[in-house]
Amino acid sequence: MCDCTVGSISSHFSRQNDLGQPEGQGGVTGTTRRHVLAGLATGVASLLLLPRLSMASEKAPGVTPDDALTRLKEGNARFVAGALTHPNLTAARIAETFSGGQHPFATIISCSDSRVPVEHVFDQGIGDLFVIRVAGNVADVDEIGTAEYGAGHLGTSLVVVMGHTKCGAVTAVLKGDKVGGNIPALVDNIIPAVERAKGKGLTGDAILLEAIKENVRQSMTDLSGHSEELAHLIKEGKIKVVGALYHIENGQVEWLS
Ligand SMILES: [Zn+2]
């Protein structure tokens, strides 16, 4: 996949290269995850994915995008207030979801940061949320395929991309930290957001916060821009994609416009 070696994030990667366009001097010479994404016809990818994961239809009936968003907002309010109800964590719920399958009401792409425990943050339980966690809450080929499964097959009407304050992945890209192994192919997804934030004349904590928000917007754009299935569901009004920022300093989820 990627033959990148350790190097500066900012000097080795650019969005143009990642999209498979001609590489400039100092650009990446390997194949990033996004190269794979760009080379896949999303319809074909869906056909490959679904038979392997296929089960009887598991679509949750009757939960609108607004209903799902309200449930998340109410759950986070309980979390912040210290009034968790810990729903759907009983043995009966385990048995119910084993025999009856899963019917989550929202798909959430969040960072892997241990300070962002998604089900706790929204006071949800087993079978409630279809969660994709990846460093920097990026939306590359694996995450988009998983979101297609959540929205297209399981029928979650709401897709949330949730960044968080003090995100280490975004910070690393902003600072141009040197990373190795497979990390460059991951964090190259964050570079466009950081570049936009840099162009806004901000400094210090403000530029990091803006880069984190831009990174959420980037993943939202990537979800629809690289998935015919998700773009169709959005156009048909069957799903909504919304952005959010989790504040690790106080537990609050801020909904981004
Ligand atoms: Zn993070």
Q: Residue 206 has what pLDDT? A: 97
Q: Residue 36 has what pLDDT? A: 53
State the average pLDDT over residues 227-232: 98
CA–CA separation, 242 and 201 (whole Å): 26
Confidence of residue 59 (pLDDT cuts 50, 70, 90): low
Taking alpha carbons only, the member of 247, 192, 186 closest to residue 217 is 192
Ranges of each domain in the chain: 7-256
Q: Residue 62 has what pLDDT? A: 79
Assigned CATH class of 7-256: alpha beta
Q: Ligand 1 centre and the CA of 96: distance in Å?
A: 33
CB 151 within 8 A of CB 228: no
Confidence of residue 63 (pLDDT cuts 50, 70, 90): very high
State the average pLDDT over residues 27-36: 45
Residue 8 in this model has a pLDDT that exceeds 70: no
Residue 30 in this model has a pLDDT that exceeds 50: no
Residue 123 in this model has a pLDDT that exceeds 60: yes
The model's pLDDT over 151-181, given as tens digits with 9 standing for 90+, comes to 999 999 999 999 999 999 999 999 999 999 9
Residue 103 in this model has a pLDDT that exceeds 60: yes
Higher-confidence position of 251 and 33: 251
What does the mean pLDDT of the chain come to? 84
Q: Ligand 1 centre and the CA of 90: distance in Å?
A: 30
User: Looking up tokens 């943050």, which residue turns up?
Assistant: 121
The model's pLDDT over 241-251, given as tens digits with 9 standing for 90+, comes to 999 999 999 99
Confidence of residue 61 (pLDDT cuts 50, 70, 90): low
CA–CA separation, 22 and 126 (whole Å): 46
CB 184 within 8 A of CB 12: yes
Q: Ligand 1 centre and the CA of 169: distance in Å?
A: 5
Which range, of 32-36, 84-88, 206-210, averages the lowest pLDDT? 32-36
Q: Ligand 1 centre and the CA of 163: distance in Å?
A: 7
Q: Ligand 1 centre and the CA of 134: distance in Å?
A: 8
Residue 23 in this model has a pLDDT that exceeds 50: no
Side-chain half-sphere CA neighbours of 31 within 13 A: 7
